[in-house]
Amino acid sequence: MQKPIVTALLAYGMSGKLFHGPFVHVHPGFHFKGVLEHNTKKVNADYPDVKSYNTLDEVLNDPEIELVIVNTPSNTHVDYSRRALMAGKDILVEKPFAPTQAEAKEIFDLGRKLNRKVMVYQNRRFSSDFEVTRDTINSGKLGQIIEMHLRYDRYRAEIGPKVFKETPIPAAGIVYDLAAHLLDQAICILGEPLSYRKVTGVYRKNSLVDDYGHIHLTYPNQLNVFITTSLLVADPQPGIIIHGTQGSFVKAFCDKQEDQLIAGMMPGDPGFGNEDAGKEGRLTLMSEQGEKTVELVPSAVGKYMDLFEAVVQTIRNDAEFPVKESEVMIQIGILESEPDNI
């Protein structure tokens, strides 16, 4: 059996508590050693044996730590990633990986130079709704895909408490925060677009960052992908709508893993990752004779754990990480591009 990867998180807010801590605790390929907690100490209420570090230097100077998970505010990702690599650590970095392609390239190049693994955390690739969407497209049942709509809707008119998300600093705003998920999904399935157009808007009272974003991607064979995210949608629309020459597929974003983690479930518990009944995708197909059939398509089980298994395989067996550098670079190039606002 391979030696577990000694791992530290750089924060224990929502992301550390929900999206990282449970997985590195449960997965046998990790030894969850520590968390950086500058002020409020919370990790020991959940994991009594996990060490709470006071400073980043304490984490980086610990010779046992092999993997550092950079789950801090997005404007710190580049600096903390650079420092972790220079300290000889492999890194798993939350999205957005970096504000600019130039900074992203710097970190990837530094990882290669130091023979360290640089991995980007895109958990929405491992959600139940994305899995069934990718499978439906790849099945060919829809024929030639004409258009795909991906939406991430919320209604939060108030200015949020997370200063780094609401202050006009690099990688702030809803496009970097939420559209990054949808861009990654489109790029994962379809690759690099031929062209794109981005529009952003600011609608909330006293908002200093974009709270609306729309990106139109064009692909070969007249395929159009429309990505929209907003903080002012009172009636959220289905997150996935695909139309092809032979049918349509409509699916709400229904992955249960986040809600289950909030409720205290752990990865591996019975039912973890299963969607609720009644949330199936709707596949409508047209026959050559013009007959319509409608099929409810259940989702696969959501498995964020697969991302952490990929981390283990990348570090211990030199496997290629599923979120590829080329895909990250395409995504960040679109995120940092100037909006084409009227």
Same structural domain for residues 284 and 147? yes
Is 328 part of any domain? no
Same structural domain for residues 138 and 269? yes
Q: Is 302 exposed, middle or buried (0-12, 13-18, 19+ CB in 10 A)?
A: buried
The structure's pTM equals 0.95
Same structural domain for residues 104 and 161? no
Same structural domain for residues 139 and 76? no
Is 201 part of any domain? yes
**pLDDT tens profile 263-300:** 999 999 999 999 988 889 999 999 999 999 999 999 88
* Helix (H/G/I), strand (E/B), else coil: 222: coil
Same structural domain for residues 21 and 69? yes
- Of 81, 101, 121, which closes a domain? 121
Q: Is 316 exposed, middle or buried (0-12, 13-18, 19+ CB in 10 A)?
A: middle
Q: How far is CA 131 from CA 9, 59, 203, in A?
A: 27, 35, 33
Is 95 part of any domain? yes
What is the rounded average pLDDT of the residues 127-154?
95
Same structural domain for residues 147 and 201? yes
The count of structural domains within the chain is 2
Q: How, if at all, do strands 195-201 and 240-244 pair?
A: unpaired
- Of 285, 303, 321, which closes a domain? 303
Token pair 């591009």: residue: 337
Instruction: Please provide the average confidence, as pLDDT, over all residues in the chain.
Output: 96
Q: Please state, as a whole number, how many other Cβ atoms lie within 10 Å of the Cβ of residue 278.
A: 7
Is 195 part of any domain? yes
Q: What values do phi and psi take at 185, rounded to 5?
A: -65, -45
CATH number for the domain including 108?
3.40.50.720
**pLDDT tens profile 137-148:** 999 999 999 999
Same structural domain for residues 197 and 88? no
Same structural domain for residues 175 and 233? yes
Element (DSSP H or E) covering residue 164:
helix 163-166
Same structural domain for residues 56 and 100? yes
pLDDT of 156 above 70: yes
**pLDDT tens profile 217-229:** 999 999 999 999 9
CB under 8 Å to 274, separation ≥6 — which residues? 128, 256, 301, 302
Is 339 part of any domain? no
Measure the CA angle with vertex 335, ends 98 and 218; round to 5°. Answer: 140
Q: List the domain range (segments joined by +) for residue 216.
A: 124-303
Is 92 part of any domain? yes
CATH number for the domain including 196?
3.30.360.10
Element (DSSP H or E) covering residue 228:
strand 223-230
Same structural domain for residues 174 and 298? yes
Label residue 33 left, alpha or beta by phi (over 0 means left) and psi (-120 to 50 means alpha): alpha
Is 324 part of any domain? no
Same structural domain for residues 11 and 91? yes
Same structural domain for residues 156 and 225? yes
Is 187 part of any domain? yes
Token pair 């159009």: residue: 224
